[in-house]
């Protein structure tokens, strides 16, 4: 990390080839300033920030403070060695002309050094900001984590900029992750997430509205006074979605949108998101006005499950209303789980754009023209309108490992080849276990041809120092496990077959080797490693507990549950440690609470204390049936639950106990995949091994069924519940998704 001097010659890495000459500008020499920073007379916020950040990092590297001078007051302020011009100064006119002749796309940057002058500029103010951070990156600075210890700043007494002309332009027009733009200026930008975003060159097109924006157009608070503005479903109004044709509702939504856009002043967003709330299409409006945008099935009935025409019709209303006011903006909407199909009744407006969501597809093994994502991009590309991708390279449903660097490396060039102009990765701050993704995908979005392996090598060397080699091997093992494992569909539980005891053992060895390599090393390396190790351990403990649970049916070892509880207790302690604030997620997705819930589920098992109780099982890949169910037969431990092939029957038997008491009430529900015929489900209960089974009546629509065991369970300390499910179909798979049980345990009556 510490060197006696640093020479900047374009990009002194494996990532680009500079034009190197003999001249140089000395920025600092032996802690004495050799240059001044020159800003325009009336700098933009981005130019001011660029100058301030350059001054800051030069000071951190060398200990010297170089001066920032207004170009109009430059006389008498020359540095001994030269000037560093930031942005659109008068002196930069010739350099800016070069950019103009290139027809450089937005955010392109140029660093020029000749004689005693350095020009750090861009085709626009954001391009200047990128140029500045590239310059500091060439000094050796890196922004790996939005904290002081996660930012690499070298130390040197001499800093020079060599003769060069280094032009860079982004591969994608929109590049977003934890921050979607680099235009926002933090009150204290030093180690904030925006600084991480700027240092990794996120940015591009900005948008109004979240991915699900109907709730911003007409907030749900209006449902009480104007239910007619909301969806009519099966004869009643519900607040889940909007009616897309109600004239007063449309006018209210358009007024709200215009008010919001007016707040952007002369710099409106390029994308205006008009996309449904987060529900399935069966919650979309079915009123008479909306039915003209609902396709008809071959049998003559309306296909209420086809939502895309209604989505486009509503977006087209706004696109038409705003096209003259905002000629450079496009109306954006999600091609999502409720709208992957192509429209049949409505054509997208010419000022539209599409957000294709990679939601339910395999996240680990890349895209091609045969995957659903690839086919969707091909189909929607036929309109000739901009396509953007919304993906999940930082999982919000898994706080453990999510090794997709190899996928990112393959997918970004693929998306570019399909004509995609921007990518948003929904990235939640699971830095402890997923951070390698976060330092790769922003760089690839800027330069899709980047040498990823060289960048990771550079990261390991700078971030871990003496532990670089074992940590590089650790990441390689993670990637290999992901590539060799089954498809992954966003759920944490689906990773269990990937992270076997053998894989975890190999990862553990690399972590241990890194620990040894850091004995006596600089504290900064140990701080970084301790954080990443804690992220590894949360995943290791969880998957080790799940792997251990799967041995229970064969061993019936009574120590297995206490060991699982102990493991998740340790994982919870790590997640709650204030040193590891960003280990397992951000506040809107309280994933620390997810770890707590798993710990409590393991601890509780099927025995409930006096008071209210709740039992929940989601059955992903078998769930906790291995240790909680007394008997399981016929079911397949499948991706979304317990599945049944055609003609097969599955049986589950549970024993539930009241600890130091007796049941007062017991109610429950099951969630399952509905079949075309009457649901072939049988529930029965008994209160002792020598007691007969009694059938339990249930109510529901075939997808969710509710039942009440109170009449039989009350006054007993133990009950047995049997779930029998048959799949009469010879084609369709049937799946049992969830079991909910709740009630009250009271102290035993005399």
Q: Which two tokens stand for residue 193?
A: 């997430």
Q: Is 651 left (phi over 0), alpha (psi -120 to 50) or beta?
A: beta
Percent of the chain with pLDDT strictly greater than 90: 77
Going by pLDDT thresholds of 50, 70 and 90, the confidence category of residue 730 is confident
> 78-94, pLDDT tens digit by residue?
667 789 999 999 999 99
* Reported confidence tier of residue 590, pLDDT bands at 50, 70, 90: low
* Arithmetic mean of pLDDT over the chain: 91
In 3D space, the residue among 386, 450, 452, 372 whose CA is nearest the CA of residue 418 turns out to be 386
Question: Residues, the chain, total?
Answer: 750
One DSSP character per residue, 298-343 reads TTSSB-TT--HHHHHHHHHHHHHHHTTT-TT-EEEEEE-TT--SPP
Cα–Cα distances in Å, from 485 out to 225, 358, 403, 494, 545?
52, 19, 11, 10, 19
Q: Which of 276-290, 521-535, 585-599, 644-658 is predicted least confidently?
A: 585-599
Contact assessment for residue 726 and residue 680, using Cβ atoms and an 8 Å cutoff: yes
pLDDT score recorded for residue 585: 64
Q: In what order do the strands lie in the sheet with 117-122?
A: 68-70, 35-39, 82-86, 117-122, 109-114, 164-168
Looking only at the bridges linking them, the beta strands covering 704-708 and 698-700 are antiparallel
> For residue 608, which of 716, 709, 745 has the smallest C-alpha distance?
745
CA distance to 179, 297, 317, 338, per residue, from 282 (Å)? 33, 15, 22, 9
Q: What pLDDT score was predicted for residue 579? A: 87
Q: Work out the number of other CB atoms within 10 angstroms of the CB of residue 95.
A: 21
What pLDDT is recorded for position 8?
40
pLDDT at 196 over 80: yes
Whether 133 has a pLDDT exceeding 70, the answer reads yes
Rounded to 10 deg, the angle between the 431-446 and 452-464 helix axes is 130
Quote the CA–CA distance of 312 and 71 in Å, as a whole number.
51
Return the H-helix or E-strand segment holding 174: strand 174-176
Q: Give the residue from 718, 467, 432 showing the smallest Cα distance to 580.
A: 432
Model pLDDT, residue 183? 62
Q: What is the DSSP string of 658-723?
A: ETTSEEEEEEEEEEE---SSS--EEEEEESSTTSPPEEE-EEESSSEEEEE-HHHHTT-SEEEEEE
Res 144: pLDDT: 95
What is the pLDDT confidence band of residue 182, given thresholds at 50, 70 and 90? low
Tell me the CATH number for domain 6-171: 3.30.379.10
* More confident: 729 or 175: 175
Confidence bin at 416 (pLDDT 50/70/90): very high
pTM: 0.91
What's residue 700's pLDDT?
A: 85
- The residue extents of the domains of the chain are 6-171, 476-604, 607-746
Confidence of residue 2 (pLDDT cuts 50, 70, 90): very low
The predicted model gives 239-250 an average pLDDT of: 97
Alpha helices in 120-233 (DSSP H): 125-138, 193-199, 214-217
Domain 607-746 top-level CATH class:
mainly beta
The single-letter DSSP state of residue 2 is B
Q: What is the pLDDT of residue 361?
A: 83
Q: What is the pLDDT of residue 75?
A: 76
Q: Residue 676's pLDDT band (boundaries 50, 70, 90)?
A: low
């Amino acid at each position: 990390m510490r060197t006696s001097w640093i020479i900047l010659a374009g990009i002194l890495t494996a990532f680009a080839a500079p034009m190197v000459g003999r001249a140089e500008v000395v920025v600092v020499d032996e802690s004495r300033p050799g240059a001044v920073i020159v800003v325009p007379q009336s700098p933009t916020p981005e130019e001011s920030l660029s100058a301030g950040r350059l001054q800051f990092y030069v000071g951190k590297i060398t200990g010297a403070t170089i001066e920032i001078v207004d170009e109009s007051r430059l006389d008498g302020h020359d540095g001994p060695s030269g000037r560093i011009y930031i942005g659109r100064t008068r002196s930069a006119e010739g350099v800016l002309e070069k950019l103009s002749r290139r027809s450089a796309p937005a955010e392109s940057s140029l660093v020029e050094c000749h004689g005693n002058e350095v020009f750090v500029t861009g085709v626009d103010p954001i391009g200047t900001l990128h140029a500045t951070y590239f310059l500091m990156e060439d000094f050796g600075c890196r922004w790996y984590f939005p904290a002081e210890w996660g930012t690499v700043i070298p130390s040197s007494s001499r800093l020079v900029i060599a003769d060069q002309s280094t032009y860079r332009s982004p591969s994608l027009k929109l590049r977003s992750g934890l921050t979607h733009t680099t235009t926002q200026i933090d009150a204290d930008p030093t180690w904030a997430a925006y600084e991480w975003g700027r240092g990794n060159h996120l940015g591009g097109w900005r948008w109004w509205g979240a991915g699900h924006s109907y709730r911003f157009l007409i907030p749900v608070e209006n449902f009480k006074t104007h239910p007619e503005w909301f969806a009519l479903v099966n004869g009643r109004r519900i607040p889940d979605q909007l009616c897309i044709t109600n004239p007063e509702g449309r006018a209210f939504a358009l007024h709200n949108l215009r008010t919001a856009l007016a707040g952007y002043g002369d710099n409106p967003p390029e994308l205006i998101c008009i996309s449904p709330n987060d529900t399935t299409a069966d919650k979309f409006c079915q009123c008479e006005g909306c039915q003209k945008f609902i396709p008809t099935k071959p049998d003559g009935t309306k296909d209420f499950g086809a939502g895309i025409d209604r989505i486009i019709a509503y977006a087209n209303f706004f696109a038409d209303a705003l096209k003259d006011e905002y000629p450079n903006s496009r109306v954006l909407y999600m091609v999502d789980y409720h709208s992957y199909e192509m429209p049949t009744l409505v054509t997208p407006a010419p000022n539209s754009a599409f957000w294709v969501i990679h939601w339910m597809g395999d996240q680990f093994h890349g895209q091609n023209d045969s995957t659903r994502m690839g086919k969707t991009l091909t189909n929607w590309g036929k309109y000739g309108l901009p396509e953007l991708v919304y993906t999940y390279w930082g999982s919000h449903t898994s706080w453990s490992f999510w090794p997709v660097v190899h996928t990112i490396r393959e997918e970004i060039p693929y998306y570019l080849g399909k004509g995609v102009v921007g990518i948003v990765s929904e990235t939640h701050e699971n830095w402890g276990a997923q951070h390698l993704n976060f330092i790769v995908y922003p760089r690839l979005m800027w330069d899709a041809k980047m040498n990823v392996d060289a960048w990771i090598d550079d990261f390991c060397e700078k971030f871990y120092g003496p532990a670089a080699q074992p940590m590089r091997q650790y990441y390689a093992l993670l990637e290999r496990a992901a590539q060799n494992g089954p498809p992954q569909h966003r759920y944490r539980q689906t990773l269990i077959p990937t992270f076997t005891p053998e894989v975890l053992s190999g990862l553990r060895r690399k972590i241990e080797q890194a620990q040894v390599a850091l004995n006596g090393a600089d504290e900064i390396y140990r701080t970084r490693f301790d954080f990443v190790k804690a992220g590894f351990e949360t995943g290791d403990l969880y998957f080790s507990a799940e792997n251990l649970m799967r041995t229970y049916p064969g061993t019936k070892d009574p120590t297995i549950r206490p060991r699982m509880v102990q493991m998740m207790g340790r994982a919870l302690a790590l997640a709650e440690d204030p040193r590891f604030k960003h280990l397992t997620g951000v506040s809107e997705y309280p994933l620390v609470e997810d770890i707590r819930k798993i710990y409590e589920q393991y601890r509780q098992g099927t025995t409930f204390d006096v008071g209210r109780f709740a039992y929940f099982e989601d059955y992903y890949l078998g769930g906790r049936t291995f240790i909680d169910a007394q008997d399981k037969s016929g079911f397949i431990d499948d991706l979304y639950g317990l599945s049944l092939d055609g003609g097969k029957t599955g049986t589950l038997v549970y024993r539930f106990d009241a600890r130091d008491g007796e049941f007062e009430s017991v109610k429950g529900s099951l969630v399952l995949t509905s079949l075309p015929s009457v649901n072939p489900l049988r529930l029965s209960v008994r209160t002792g091994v020598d007691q007969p089974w009694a059938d339990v009546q249930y109510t529901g629509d075939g997808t969710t069924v509710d039942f009440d065991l109170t009449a039989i369970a009350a006054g007993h300390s133990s009950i047995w519940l049997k779930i029998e499910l048959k799949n009469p179909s010879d084609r369709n798979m049937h799946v049992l998704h969830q079991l909910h049980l709740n009630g009250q345990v009271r102290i035993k009556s005399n």
